[in-house]
Chains A and B, each alone.
Chain A
Amino acid sequence: MKNPDREWIKKRLMNAAIIILAAFSVLLLRFVYLQIVEGDEYRRLSENNCIRLQSVPAPRGMIYDRNGTLLVDNIPSFDLKIVLQDAEPVDETIAKLAEFTGITLEELMERVDAGKKVSIYKPIVLKKNITRDQLAVVESHGFDLPGVRVEIEPMRNYIYKKSAAHLIGYLGEVNPQEIENNIYSDVRAGDSIGRYGAERAFEYMLHGKIGGKQIEVDASGRLVRVINTVEPIPGKNIFLTIDATLQQKTESIMEGQTGAVVAIDPSNGDVLAMVSSPSFDLNDFIGGISSEKWKALISDPNKPMSNKAIQGEYPPASTYKIVTAIAALEEGAVGINTNYFCPGYYKYGNRTYRCWKKWGHGRVDIVSALEKSCDVYFYRSGEALGVDTLAKYANGCGLGKLTHIELVNERSGLIPTAAWKKRRFGNSWQGGETLSIAIGQGFNLVTPLQMAMFIAAIGNNGTIYRPKILKFTQDYNGSLESRLEIKNEILGTLPAGKETLKLVKEGLLNVVESEDGTAKRIRIEGIDIAGKTGTAQVFSLKKSDRDSNRKFARHLRDHAWFVCYAPAQNPVIAVSVIIEHGEHGSTAAAPVASDVLRTWLQIKGILPSVKVGTM
């Protein structure tokens, strides 16, 4: 061991210097090779920036129903594009283009100005989906239109137009901020992404991975050769839980009505049909909706753009009595033998709360109270329970909170508590308000989907599922091995014991199947239906004036509810129906639900099918 001296260090530093010199020689030789030996070729390639990237779009996954009925596919669209660098003089080229195609100069210039900011070497989409005549004229004037070209890109095609529009949803062009913030992977300016419904919720599955080509072009932008290609990866096909036949039948029943219908498979939470009426045509959104059409849609008082099944918040009315019944039984406020006398009204403090039946129901127990929808019975139950206990049970039944369906902008409804009122209005809860709450009026708000999940849970003896709209996915080529089932999710169980459920179900069965039931008119032979009607006040009227409701303007009329499941013993379907301003649950909503039930039972082979049109 010897401590190094200067000479030793010098030797090692010399070695380092030699290595550095060698490395620099390599770099120098490379410079000489690129700039002198290959310099001419690179100078040529640099003149018009000849090596460019051309993207190859990835086809978007297709959308089917649960049985493989195609709902949405892709068709070729002829897109008019321009590369500004090759289009000199740009103004002249655009003017000619406007003249040949009939597209206005302003529209073209707007796209050009927006595209300039991105790159003059990348194609700018001037107009998507041009007509065959426009295509012919552009192709034949190719030499007068430098830098202009037509590219075939896949475009969405919504086969059933308005059918299931809210569920399927549409696409919209991605905006510059979204690109900048990298919200979506593999998206270029001008691309479309899901903006509504399943198209939005399953964007990450439907959207494939974009491919591209490295190409060499000549001075006027024409392709010389393809240097390298990366194939695009198409998106996944998705299979929704809805049944196209049931969906379309339900839509035809709802034609002309404003409201929503949700049909659920109580055994797993599958959404079999989801209708929000009126609807809109998805094809109007392809390539951007025109502003007149958009204005018409959003100014329509019946709100066709809102998915009322998940966004419509309505007072639950008498359908809420199921919650009150569960709470009263579970808390011991009433028992199987509790009887109340209904004289047609109930006095609370110095106010009189009326039953919907002017002359009263006489003696009622829990089962007949549900069957006849006796208000007095539930006033008294509610009074015994108090608002906060009722709210606890309502929440336990899945009301007042999101169902977590995979669609954006779902509303949670509202289940009031004393604390909520204090926060919201600053004054304390009044005992009388509890009475209104107990029969589903007052501040209560629920969505049709929440009610559907709730009644489905009653039908399946207590399991609350997360509503499911996606059944399975498959690769774009449809290979069977790629099939991927989506699992059911259980969110919880109803806060109701076996005995309670048995009584509630008996009451609901009697609503349809007993002689005094409020919905006895909708019976289907051979099948037991269990359900509950509801009539939600839109405008506060004295009970005595209610029969003259018809005299009022339509927007003041009551909303009609019906929730049900069938067959009552072992349900295969649960349905929730709201008809806005339909007046009575029993006359407006229940028949709709009955038709939906019948259709599904026929599809399932539980009822013999009848020729279409004779139902």
Chain B
Amino acid sequence: MFDRRLIENFDWGLILITCLIGMVGLCVLYSAVNAGEPGGAMHLLFQKQMIWIGGSFTIVLFSLSIPYKLFDRGSFAAYIICIGLLVAVLLFGKYVGGSRRWLALGPITMQPSELMKLSLIFVLASSYSGVISESGLAFKYLIKPVLLLFFPFLLIILQPDLGTALLLLFIATSMTLFVKVKKNVFFSCLIVAISAVPLAWMFVLKEYQKGRVLTFLDPNRDPLGAGYHIIQSKIAIGSGMLYGKGFLKGTQNALAFLPEHHTDFILSVLAEEWGLIGCCVLLFLYFMLLLWGLNISYCCRDMFGSILAFGITIMIFWQIFINIGMVMGLMPVVGVPLPLISYGGSSVVTNMIGIGVLLNISMRRFVVV
């Protein structure tokens, strides 16, 4: 049953890039959790991250034996389970910093919105693979994907977690544009979207919600909160200059000025300690990872696998772009972690599964189904 070619075609390149990024991540995390706090509880975070990476890597290796074709059939069930988890979060979730994002399952707390990203990609790939055509999709084929996006989007907005909700929107939009829609459909959707924004602004949003959106778009409106974090983040990044201050020599991070320096703002630690050179290396590794992913999409012989590979690649891309844009003050402050670098179990597991699926597709590229 086990095909020898699966081993022969194992994608060592993807493994190598992933490991390199993961190693960079652990180095930076080590610095982030240790600087200024010799020993003590913060070490625990580093150990936990190692366990998360190791654990999810093992699961991924086992999952490689399952042909990804089976995911096509199972995608809708997974999607429904994720919707159920999102509902559970709203009902029983743990309040952290004013929103419900976490669900406690025994000793483990997880963010179902992270898993939702993957299952949305699966279910969209499954849906589009049956209807894709070179001339583009007609309007009627978009109804199902729009509904598939709508429910998780709404549930995540209610948490509220605007960042992850927008990420879902970006991923779904990217996948839809990738499979191509008819020109008239594209433009009419664009017009609807553009006109909906001012209407919602005038009639739907309440005054305090408008205030939040404005602060979200312009952190300087909140100089004691998000605006201050962005300034500190920019100082940390800028002060790294060309060569950086050196491993464990960062000061901004050590002073705990950035409350989330080991999660969402971890790039500022890397930039301060390793300078522009370090940042370029990371950008290069990420770029290689994304190109690799696109290549897997190209090499895959069936539509489902191809769209799936594209979806996962684009998910990783959006997380990188939004996170780095955010810490450099180019984008609103949202809770989007940096893939394979930021601390956090749910994020690690999601991205590792994503990489695993890419490996799965890649090693079966020559298998005739």
Give A contacts to B, CB under 8 Å: 1-6, 8-10, 12-13, 16-17, 20-21, 23-24, 26-28, 30-32, 34-36, 38-43, 45-47, 49, 51, 53, 119-121, 212, 214, 227-230
**A8 and B328 in contact (CB under 8 A), knowing A23-B317, A34-B237, A36-B276?**
no
A4 partner, pick from B134, B310, B317, beta carbons under 8 A: B134
B336 within 8 Å of A by Cβ?
no
Least CB distance from A221 to B in Å reads: 14
Least CB distance from A226 to B in Å reads: 10
Cβ B238 vs Cβ A17 within 8 A: no
Cβ B231 vs Cβ A51 within 8 A: yes
A24 to B330, CA, bound (A): 13
Cβ B223 vs Cβ A227 within 8 A: yes
Cβ B235 vs Cβ A16 within 8 A: no
Best-buried of B220, B224, B279 by chain A (most CB within 10 Å):
B224
A27 partner residues in chain B, CB cutoff 8 A: 283, 321, 324-325, 328
Least CB distance from B258 to A in Å reads: 11
**A21 and B287 in contact (CB under 8 A), knowing A9-B306, A16-B294?**
yes
Least CB distance from B166 to A in Å reads: 16
Cβ A8 vs Cβ B134 within 8 A: yes
Cβ A51 vs Cβ B276 within 8 A: no
Which of the candidate stretches B50-58, B77-85, B154-162, B239-247 sits at the interface with the other chain? B239-247
A1 to B298, CA, bound (A): 21
Cβ B317 vs Cβ A31 within 8 A: no
Q: List 29 A-B contacts (CB under 8 A).
A: A3-B133, A4-B134, A4-B303, A8-B134, A9-B298, A10-B298, A12-B180, A16-B294, A16-B314, A27-B321, A27-B324, A31-B283, A32-B276, A34-B328, A35-B241, A38-B238, A39-B239, A39-B241, A39-B242, A42-B237, A43-B238, A46-B235, A47-B251, A49-B252, A51-B231, A53-B224, A227-B223, A228-B227, A229-B223
Cβ B235 vs Cβ A51 within 8 A: yes
B280 partner, pick from A31, A40, A41, A121, beta carbons under 8 A: A31
B205 within 8 Å of A by Cβ?
no
A28 partner, pick from B135, B223, B283, beta carbons under 8 A: B283
A27 to B283, CA, bound (A): 9
A16 partner residues in chain B, CB cutoff 8 A: 174, 178, 294, 310, 314
A29 to B42, CA, bound (A): 34
A40 partner residues in chain B, CB cutoff 8 A: 241
Give B contacts to A, CB under 8 Å: 132-135, 174, 178, 180, 220, 223-224, 227-228, 231-232, 234-242, 251-252, 255-257, 271-272, 275-276, 279-280, 283, 286-287, 290-291, 294, 297-298, 303, 306, 310, 314, 317, 321, 324-325, 328, 330
Cβ A9 vs Cβ B297 within 8 A: yes
B330 partner, pick from A30, A47, A230, beta carbons under 8 A: A30
B286 partner residues in chain A, CB cutoff 8 A: 24
**A45 and B134 in contact (CB under 8 A), knowing A30-B330, A31-B280?**
no
- Given contact pairs A23-B321, A41-B238, enumerate 11 new A-B contacts (beta carbons under 8 Å): A28-B279, A30-B325, A31-B328, A34-B237, A35-B241, A39-B240, A39-B242, A40-B241, A42-B235, A51-B235, A230-B223
B180 partner residues in chain A, CB cutoff 8 A: 12
B251 partner, pick from A4, A46, A212, A228, beta carbons under 8 A: A46
Least CB distance from A11 to B in Å reads: 10
A35 partner, pick from B251, B275, B283, B306, beta carbons under 8 A: B275
A376 to B117, CA, bound (A): 81
B291 nearest CB neighbor, chain A only: A17
Cβ B134 vs Cβ A34 within 8 A: no
B295 nearest CB neighbor, chain A only: A13
A38 to B236, CA, bound (A): 12
A65 to B275, CA, bound (A): 63
A36 partner residues in chain B, CB cutoff 8 A: 241-242, 276
A230 partner residues in chain B, CB cutoff 8 A: 223-224
Cβ A43 vs Cβ B239 within 8 A: yes
Cβ A53 vs Cβ B228 within 8 A: yes
B134 partner residues in chain A, CB cutoff 8 A: 1-5, 8
A6 to B297, CA, bound (A): 10
Least CB distance from B207 to A in Å reads: 16
B223 partner, pick from A6, A30, A121, A228, beta carbons under 8 A: A228
B330 nearest CB neighbor, chain A only: A30
A10 partner residues in chain B, CB cutoff 8 A: 298
Cβ B133 vs Cβ A35 within 8 A: no
Cβ B294 vs Cβ A35 within 8 A: no
A212 to B224, CA, bound (A): 7
B317 partner residues in chain A, CB cutoff 8 A: 20, 23
